A and B are shown apart, each in its own frame.
Chain A
Amino acid sequence: MQLNKIEFNKKEIRDAYLFNAPLILIALIFIFLPVIGTLITSFFRDVTFLPGKFIGLENYKRLIGDSHFWQSVEFTLIFVIVSVSLELFFGVIFALLLNETIPGRGFMRVAILIPWAIPVAISARVWQLIYNYDFGVFNYFVLKLGISNQPVSWLGTTAGAFFSIVISDVWKTTPFMTIIILAGLSTISNDLYKQAMIDGTNFLQRFFRITLPLLKPVLVVALLFRTIDAIRIFDLVYVLTGGGPGGSTTPLSLYAYDYLVSGDFGYGSAASVIVFLLAALLAILYIKFGQFKEVVK
């Protein structure tokens, strides 16, 4: 709150705007304008083979009436909740481990980044081979270990496909969480832990009373990034399941994409707007309830 009270002179304010101008300009041209453009398109019947016409909220009405759209919303939200919480859980554990002075720590810190460094399309393809019915690694173990005498169709059931996507996503993006949390951990002073140990606390007490509260600002940032990313998930699913079986794993962005590339730009835009609104809503919630202002301070 102190920050607001500091008086800046006019020159300082002008310079600040000037320095920020290139960034603001880029954000305007490449982010703001396309968003507005998409919003406007979503109010039109913009289909390649029909004359264009303003139809108000018709595209949104069609969205609401489409059971597949709701299926996509449901899948997207459940996916966000499950995958982001798992990533948070494993991210914290890995970060705590890597924060200890253990032999080979430097190497492990680099090694854990490998999944994050592989392009999504490639890792999705690799996972697809792992889940493969005939020659996938998973089915090799299932048969070898005698868990079942029939191969399992991993991507074949709704639940199977869902968790296959979640596992691939968690494998891929946990490193991101880990690195951010690790950075947060390194800012916590060791003296606090030493004091707490003198007071006779155990590990769990120290974790919940010191580590977690001090880590909260970093966690909010990490969660914000991951949540927005997860809402927009596209490439992993596009390659891994293509939205199947039976459209049960179609995220909203894939739903929008299908319509955009098939020539119904109005309807595809309306679906994109929904993705944007969802992401914006969640971002606002995080900022409001994550005490983001304190984080920034």
Chain B
Amino acid sequence: MKKIQSLILILTISFFSIQCGSTKKDFTIWIGGSPEEVDFWASIVSQFNNQRGYNLKLIRQPTYTDQRRQGLVISLESKQPDPDLFLMDVVWINQFIRSGWLQPFTPYVTKSKFSTDIFFKGILNTVDKLNDTLYALPVFLDVGLFYYRKDLLEKFGFNNPPKTWDELVDQCKKITPAEKKNNLNFNGFDWQGAQYEGLVCDFLEFIASNGGGILQNGKINLDTPENLKALRFMHDLIYKYKISPPNTYTEMKEEEVRRAFQSGNAIFERNWSYAWKLHQSKDSPVRGKVGLTLLPHFIDHNSVSTLGGWHIGMSKYSDEKNEAWDFIQYVTSYKVQKQLLLKVGWNPGRKDIYSDSLLLKQIPRLKILYEAFKHTVARPTIPYYPQLSEVIQRYVNDCLANKIKPAYALKQMQNHINELEKFYAAK
């Protein structure tokens, strides 16, 4: 009897201590995205809880990026203790830092002897740091990539995918008319031209692959000859060369582009890295026929990919910061980052995964990704980026819709942005 009594006593005590422990370490992380994505995070969170005895809760956010930001902005602006942790699209980070919502990682990095060398230095410096203070860490990265139909290039006698935009036009001119005879919906090159954030990414790639840019030497300077040539080329793709379809500027977002390419309606595709896995799925008509490489560029310039991806941040108003930091370390650990790659096919934020020889053998495209990460361009890191993006989207889209001329579009954009700067860059 005594044994049973003491057993019960021990059980009760341990039960209560667990209770106390878990209420103390109650914290939340907010993550949204596709159901597959959120399910993956749910499994990571439960692994973490089981291993460390924490009680981290995953709160599911909407699928759409804008709606995810909206939820975070409202909670953080009202200084709520939840969420403790969240994922941020790379373009939000600057606004979040400047709004004073993010907890600097510096004290935690020092305390836990965390090494930041495992990340791409250029990416940390341009997006995760402000004035040398670290506020966020990349969980997974994304870049714009160039997909092409190996079989079609071969059929028409091209040994290599186009390196420059001129080559792309030449190849399309040869292949498209012939293929169009059998398939009315066939087009040369599909990319994201609808009026949304993706358009800014594509626009940035076009202009940067001609040596242009949006933010140059700390100032927004859009009305340049390099940018003009690139924007004119985007316009020409639709109207002059007719190798991009007329719904480019109305409907073409990531998924529309992917579906068109995947159903065999295009030779070339600009898309994010996620498209690869879907193109290779069992019921995909282009399975095994797709090649992957860096985006073309203008003559005498280099390939450039817009940097995307999601970074983890900690709220300044969090009441469980030490525990939250534990999770950040967990998420950026080699083990979890590898799972990210193998289970959901995302590109880890950690650099060392890309040189893992075993993984490289299994997933040869890591080499191209690594190459692309070295040639990334970030969208302007300014706190009023949403407003800037809206202006760029509107004028570039107007230009692609053939309503305004490229030169006028850039001029108007610049005027508009000057007005924005006057208000938002003030103290």
Contacts and interface: CB of A to CB of B under 8 A. Distances in A.
Interface of A: 47-51, 62, 65-66, 68, 132-134, 151, 153, 155-158, 242-247, 258-259, 261-264
Interface in B59-93: 66, 69-70, 73, 77
A262 B386 contact: yes
Q: Which 10 residue pairs of A and B lie closest in terms of their CB atoms, listed nearest first?
A: A262-B386, A246-B398, A156-B250, A244-B195, A49-B98, A133-B247, A48-B99, A49-B383, A261-B70, A247-B394
A243 B292 CA distance: 34
Given A261-B70, A261-B73, A263-B386, A245 B98 contact: no
B195 A156 contact: no
A62 B424 CA distance: 12
B246 A261 contact: no
B290 to A, nearest CB: 20
Contacts of B397: 244-247
24 contacts: A49-B98, A49-B383, A50-B426, A51-B427, A65-B419, A68-B394, A132-B251, A133-B246, A133-B250, A133-B251, A151-B247, A153-B251, A155-B251, A156-B247, A156-B250, A156-B251, A243-B195, A244-B195, A244-B397, A245-B195, A245-B397, A246-B397, A262-B390, A264-B384
Nearest to B253: A242
A134 B247 contact: yes
A246 B401 contact: yes
B95 interface: yes
Contact of A246 (B73, B195, B419): B195
B95 A49 contact: yes
A261 B394 contact: no
Name the prevailing secondary structure of the A interface residues: loop
A237 B73 CA distance: 23
Contacts of B101: 48
A151 B247 CA distance: 10
A158 B403 CA distance: 10
Given A48-B77, A48-B383, A262-B386, 20 more contacts: A48-B101, A50-B427, A65-B419, A133-B245, A134-B185, A134-B260, A155-B250, A156-B249, A156-B401, A157-B401, A244-B250, A244-B397, A245-B249, A245-B250, A246-B394, A246-B401, A246-B403, A247-B394, A261-B69, A263-B99
Interface in B220-266: 245-247, 249-251, 260
A110 B403 CA distance: 44
B194 interface: yes
Nearest to B425: A50
A49 B99 contact: yes
Contacts of A247: 195, 394, 397-398
Contacts of B70: 261
A245 B199 CA distance: 12
Nearest to A58: B423
The CB with the most chain B CB atoms within 10 A, among A49, A65, A151, is that of A49
A159 to B, nearest CB: 12
Interface of B: 66, 69-70, 73, 77, 95, 98-101, 185, 194-196, 245-247, 249-251, 260, 383-384, 386-387, 390, 394-395, 397-398, 401, 403, 419, 423-424, 426-427
A275 B369 CA distance: 48
Contacts of A245: 195, 249-250, 397-398, 401
Contacts, number: 92
B390 to A, nearest CB: 6
Given A134-B185, A244-B194, A262 B387 contact: yes
A48 B75 CA distance: 12
Contacts of A133: 245-247, 250-251
B89 to A, nearest CB: 12
A148 to B, nearest CB: 12
A48 B249 contact: no
Nearest to B420: A62
A243 B397 CA distance: 11
A66 B73 CA distance: 25
A155 B65 CA distance: 23
B95 A263 contact: yes
Contacts of A134: 185, 247, 260
B396 to A, nearest CB: 9
Contacts of A246: 195, 394-395, 397-398, 401, 403
Contacts of B245: 133
Nearest to A258: B390
Contact of B73 (A48, A68, A132, A258): A48
B426 to A, nearest CB: 7
Which among B95, B196, B251 has the highest number of chain A CB atoms within 10 Å? B251
Contact of B246 (A156, A243, A258): A156
A268 B423 CA distance: 14
Contacts of A243: 195
Nearest to B249: A245
A51 B194 CA distance: 35
Contacts of B384: 47, 49, 264
A177 B318 CA distance: 51
B247 A50 contact: no
Contacts of A261: 66, 69-70, 73
Contacts of A264: 384, 387
A258 B73 CA distance: 13
A199 B121 CA distance: 92
A48 B397 CA distance: 28
Nearest to A150: B246
A246 B199 CA distance: 12
B247 A153 contact: yes
A65 B420 CA distance: 11
A153 B185 contact: no
A122 to B, nearest CB: 15
A48 B69 CA distance: 13
Contact of B195 (A151, A153, A242, A262): A242
B344 to A, nearest CB: 26
A77 to B, nearest CB: 20
Contacts of B194: 242, 244
A261 B390 CA distance: 13
